[in-house]
Structure formats: C-alpha cells, structure tokens
Chains A and B, each alone.
Chain A
C-alpha cells in the first residue's frame, strides 16, 4: 500500500465529505471506497478497530480516523499548498475552537432535526438556530470563517450544507430566514470545485433522511 491514499467513505456522511473536501483542496489523488455501514469491510474494522466508523483516511498504509483529525492531518501532510490554518498560534487556536464548536453544538442539534421527532426534534431546531446565530456572529463580514481564504472551519461546516434541505423539510423552518449571511457564505463555498465535487445534491440527502425516518421513527 505504499504511496497510496485511500478514503473509506459513505456518500451521505457530512463527516466523510470533510475529508473529501480537504483532499481536493490539496489536489491529492485519492481512491474513495464506499462502505456499507450495515456490513463494514474488513479493512474498515482493521483500520478503525476502536470506533469502527467512517471516514478513515489510509495514507501509505497508515490509518487516520475522526473527520476533523483527518482534515488537520491532510493539511500537515500536504503542507505545500492551500493551508487550512492561519500561521499565528492565536489564529490556529481560534480555528480549532470553532471546529470543535461545530462538532459539539451544531452537529448534535442537526441530528435531532432529521433523526428525531416530537419534542426532541423541536429542541433540535431551537438549538440549531442558536448555533447558527453564534456562527453567523463569528463569520461577521468575512468572506470565509478563515478570513480571506477558505479554511479549517469552513471545511468543518460547509458539508452540513448538503443536509440543509433535509433540516428545512423535516424541521419545518427556513434556514435562510434565520441567517441569510450563512446561506450566502455556503453558496460562496459551493463555487469552489473542491466543495461542489464533494457534496451530494440536497435532494438526494432529503430522500436518504426520509428513508431513515421511515425505518427508524
């Protein structure tokens, strides 16, 4: 497996999409292998024995797990172009903080919207809107969370955009009404090929979420 880059992947996962975006931003040739999460491959179970989850990046035979960890690794391993972080320690710390915020507050909230119903779902919508407003305030007037250039926090968050249709349909609310700035930012990110190639169409995700709700709720 020398000199190879393999991504163990799952098409609707916003976490896997982060890895795809990161690799494309760096112009890395990689092989995406689609996993069947109901029947995980031996390679996945061997590469991520502790969590058994995707994404897993296998670079020259060595696995890297956890999506934001993969994004940081990609930045450091291919450091010659498109840095994801600013160069100063404070800017880096801020970026890591907001990446962590997306993973905690934003991610938990969005799951409740499409993955739950009733009171839990309503709570999810409320928390989601709260998180969106905080993120919008952090974005301010900058074109990207990274400032003038697309960076770590943008990668962490933009992949959820593919799920916005599902949130709006099942949560019965309009994200644009709550935060036009965030939608404008998302559309700006989608103009980048690394992003548009890595995210599935919103309609496909709506159908996926509908199927999940039919089978689980």
Chain B
C-alpha cells in the first residue's frame, strides 16, 4: 500500500519548514496543504485538537504534531537514508538539549524582535544575540551542529535562519558582527546550487556545482532583490568548509525547496506589524 503523507503547514512558519526539510531529506512524496491560520481548516482542528497548531504530519490518516516530534518521527519511519538523529544515546541527548535551548532561548526573543518596538524589542535583541552566541560556541569548528552531517539541530535552526533578514530589518541591527560564523553564511542564504538531489554537500564534487542563471533565480523567488545576493565567483567545494553552518544548510536542495525567500518573509512581517499597529 502506498504511503499517504499530508503536511498541514503555513508557508512562513519556521516550524513548518522543519517538517518540509525532513520530508525532502528522506525523499518522501507528500501533499502540502497551506493553512489559513486565521481560519483553520476542520482537518487541522480535528488532527491537532489540543494545540490547533501547524505543522501536522498526517501519515496514512494518523496525525503527528509538534515540529521536532514530526522530524524525529520522519527519521524513524523512513530510516533508510539521510539519518537525521545520531544513534549514540549521549549524542542524541545532546541534540535534544539543543533543540530545547533553541525552542526556548532563541524562539522567545525572536518572536518579540519582529513584532514589538521600544524597550521590549531592545531586550529581545540582546537575549537573541546572547542565545546565538551560545549556539555559535556549541557549533565551534564543526561544519554542522550534527558534526559532519546535516542533522537534527541544523534542521531546527534553518527555519530561523530564513527569518534573520526580517529580524535585522524590523529591529535595525546586524547579526553578522555578533555571530560571524553563523551569520556570514546566512547572509548568502538561498544561494541556489544545482545539487544531485538528496546527496549531502560533502559528497558533491566541485565540477558538479554550478551557479544558476539570474533568470532561474528570479523565477524561483518572486520579489527577489538583486542586492540581497552578492554576486559570487564560481562556487568551489572547498569554500563550503569556510562559510558557516547557516550557508551550508541553506544551500542544500532540500532546504532551498522548503524555505521561502527572505524578502517574502519580510513582506509578511511588515504587513502584520502594520495591521496590528506595532
């Protein structure tokens, strides 16, 4: 019997992005259903009656809720490729610890940065940077939080990376000087690379990597502003080990296919701020 996989989601949600990335990492065919969060579908309310939130993964009619729970479920069901969680109990505990850190210490100030002003926003900025610095120290010299492989914690952070530009614009600050390892890469995010689908970046040879034409780029990211992406020389594989974790994450095809452009996210944030008189 073929698997029926439906994802109830909202395009801008960093939590939804996690589920999308995980499904694509595993090469799972799924039906994406966009929810209107102001008018939630009967299906969403039925599948997640406790929290009524997205993402909800519905696998053969059975719902799985809470984004990192969904990612872990995906990893366990489709266990034949691109392992997301390590197998060692201590490393798994470490990964779960950092998820909890991200979903409290990064999420709470991040949410305030784009949606508040004044002192509340200033405090949120400080807390946010402090949290990113702790994460940057944890990342160290590793290519990914997962070590050599894009993993559980990387997936958790990638949704936030997509919102970095929006945070900077809303709160008038720059993340890069504070967290160069994380941010230097996120700045060149959405840099599209033709990747052999599903292969980890470390297995791509330099010859296979090409920079797409600007025509391709514009068709994929409506509203893209040329200024956001600095023109790059031909990408060389060895450069992948220099830029930070965020860039590496955002260059994976599975991520590129799952994560909206920074300008779309900022447009949404701007619209919501206006609507709520922020």
Chain B contact-residue range equals 20 to 34
Which of B62, B73, B92 touches A73 (beta carbons < 8 Å)? B92
Say whether, besides A62-B90, A93-B64, A69 and B73 are in contact (CB < 8 Å).
Answer: no
Contacting A at CB under 8 A, from B69-126, are 69-70, 72-73, 76-77, 89-90, 92-93, 96-97, 100-101
Q: Does A108 contact B (CB under 8 A)?
A: no
A59 to B90, CA, bound (A): 9
Residue of B nearest to A89 (CB): B76
For the A-B complex, the count of residue pairs with Cβ-Cβ distances under 8 Å equals: 54
Assess the B100–A97 pair: CB atoms within 8 A: no
Residue of B nearest to A49 (CB): B134
**CB neighbours of B76 from chain A (8 A):** 89, 92
A98-117 interface bits toward B, Cβ cutoff 8 Å, 1 = contact, 0 = none: 00110000000000000000
Which of A59, A77, A89 touches B73 (beta carbons < 8 Å)? A89
Q: Does B176 contact A (CB under 8 A)?
A: no
Which of A73, A89, A100, A134 touches B93 (beta carbons < 8 Å)? A73
A64 to B88, CA, bound (A): 13
Say whether, besides A93-B64, A101-B50, A72 and B73 are in contact (CB < 8 Å).
Answer: no
Q: Does B66 contact A (CB under 8 A)?
A: yes
**CB neighbours of A50 from chain B (8 A):** 101, 134
Q: Does B65 contact A (CB under 8 A)?
A: yes
**CB neighbours of A134 from chain B (8 A):** 50
A76 to B92, CA, bound (A): 9
Residue of A nearest to B89 (CB): A76
In the assembled complex, the CB of A191 is this many whole angstroms from the nearest CB of chain B, namely 29
Contacting B at CB under 8 A, from A54-100, are 59, 62, 64-66, 69-70, 72-73, 76-77, 89-90, 92-93, 96-97, 100
Say whether, besides A64-B90, A73-B89, A97 and B65 are in contact (CB < 8 Å).
Answer: yes
Most A CB within 10 A of own CB, among B70, B76, B93? B93
Say whether, besides A66-B96, A97-B66, A89 and B77 are in contact (CB < 8 Å).
Answer: yes
- Please list 12 pairs of residues, one from A and one from B, whose beta carbons are closer than 8 Å in the complex, sorted by A's number: A65-B97, A69-B97, A73-B90, A76-B89, A77-B90, A90-B62, A92-B72, A93-B72, A96-B69, A97-B65, A100-B66, A100-B69
Chain B interfacial positions (CB closer than 8 Å to A): 50, 59, 62, 64-66, 69-70, 72-73, 76-77, 89-90, 92-93, 96-97, 100-101, 134
